[in-house]
Amino acid sequence: MTAAPPGRLLLVPNTLDHGNEPAPIEQVLARGVLEQAALLQHWVVEDARSARAFLKRVSAVVPLAAPLQAVAMTELPRPRKGSREGIDAAQWQALLQPALAGHDLGLLSEAGLPAVADPGAAVVEAAHAAGLSVVPLAGPSALLLALAASGLNGQSFAFVGYLPQEADARGRRLRELEALSRQLRQTQLFIETPYRNPALATALLAGLQPGTRLSISCGLTLAGGWSRCLTVERWRRSPPLVSDRMPAVFALLAT
């Protein structure tokens, strides 16, 4: 008997409203994405509970191919933050068994595009190593939406993740990023845990040079979301009211 051809790993985008009042899913994700998600019966997810909530939202627009309780979900291993230590390649590949057995497999992040600033990248790496087809589906990326809305340099940019929490270390890192941005004319993007957003905004206004352009995008795609870009000097005249509940993306470009 001929073995079944392998399935694909589909990178299924999520909405950006995790932890906030949900927006209508069809206003954020394309119909084709919802139809693909509704067909999948095998998933690798960050959190099974929120993934099931996602599929319930999908089912309100496109009926699922199988009852939700019959959909198989495997959660990503949880390494120490910022590290894959303790998780070997065999564990990542084990997540791909449904695809290796011939089933399409969905990868879902908590928010936005899987594998972009997201631990799912290790699953994609394992899929390539196993010779599986990886199919990214179009959907929102908070980083790219914020960059587009900023008016900063979209030809050269870097996402640098989280800044240090300790004040002195954070100040040094900001000076490094500002110098790098000035040298390369490169936009630097970074994020913070939502409840620390106001503190980071305050630190940025205190630590950056007056002429540096600073963009803050808060709650993109959500009701009440906004994006604004000013010089630090102008921000200081009217400090931003950054939500401690909505996700935010910060970006700077030094002159």
Question: What is the chain's Cα-based Rg?
Answer: 20
Q: pLDDT value at position 2?
A: 60
pLDDT per residue as tens digits for the range 167-215: 999 999 999 999 999 999 999 999 999 999 999 999 999 999 999 999 9
HEC-encoded secondary structure of the chain: CCCCCCCEEEEECCCCCCCCCCCCHHHCCCHHHHHHHHHCCEEEECCHHHHHHHHHHHHCCCCCCCCHHHCEEEECCCCCCCCCCCCCHHHHHHCCHHHHCCCCEEEECCCCCCCCCCCCHHHHHHHHHCCCEEEECCCCCHHHHHHHHHCCCCCCEEEEEECCCCHHHHHHHHHHHHHHHHHHCCEEEEECCHHHHHHHHHHHHHHCCCCCEEEEEECCCCCCCEEEEEEHHHHHHCCCCCCCCCCEEEEEECC
Taking residues 132-136, what's their average pLDDT? 96
Do the Cβ atoms of 176 and 184 come closer than 8 Å?
A: no
pLDDT on residue 86? 53
- Partnered with residue 72 across adjacent β-strands are 42
- pLDDT higher than 50, residue 230: yes
Task: Please tell me the least confidently modeled range out of 15-29, 38-52, 133-147, 178-192.
Answer: 15-29
Q: Which of 13-27, 120-134, 154-168 has the lowest mean pLDDT?
A: 13-27
Q: Are 134 and 157 in contact (CB under 8 A)?
A: no
- Average pLDDT value for residue range 32-38: 97
CA angle centred on 88, ends 83 and 91, rounded to 5°: 115
Q: How far apart are CA 141 and CA 119, in angstroms?
A: 15
pLDDT tens sequence across 89-112: 778 788 999 999 999 999 999 989
Query: Do β-strands 42-45 and 157-162 pair in parallel, antiparallel, or remain unpaired?
Result: unpaired
% pLDDT > 90, the chain: 81
pLDDT above 70 for 147: yes
Instruction: Answer whether residue 85 shows pLDDT above 80.
Output: no
Task: Give, rounded to a whole angstrom, the gap between the first and last alpha carbons of the chain.
Answer: 66
Total count of residues recorded for the chain: 255
Strands 226-231 and 105-108: unpaired
Predicted confidence (pLDDT) at residue 78 exceeds the cutoff of 80? no
* Domains present along the chain, CATH in parentheses: 8-136 (3.40.1010.10), 142-253 (3.30.950.10)
pLDDT category of residue 3 using cuts at 50, 70 and 90 = low
Distance CA 43, CA 95 (A): 9
Mean pLDDT of all residues in 61-66 = 96
Average pLDDT over all residues of the chain = 92
What is the pLDDT confidence band of residue 82, given thresholds at 50, 70 and 90?
very low
What does the pLDDT read at residue 1?
52
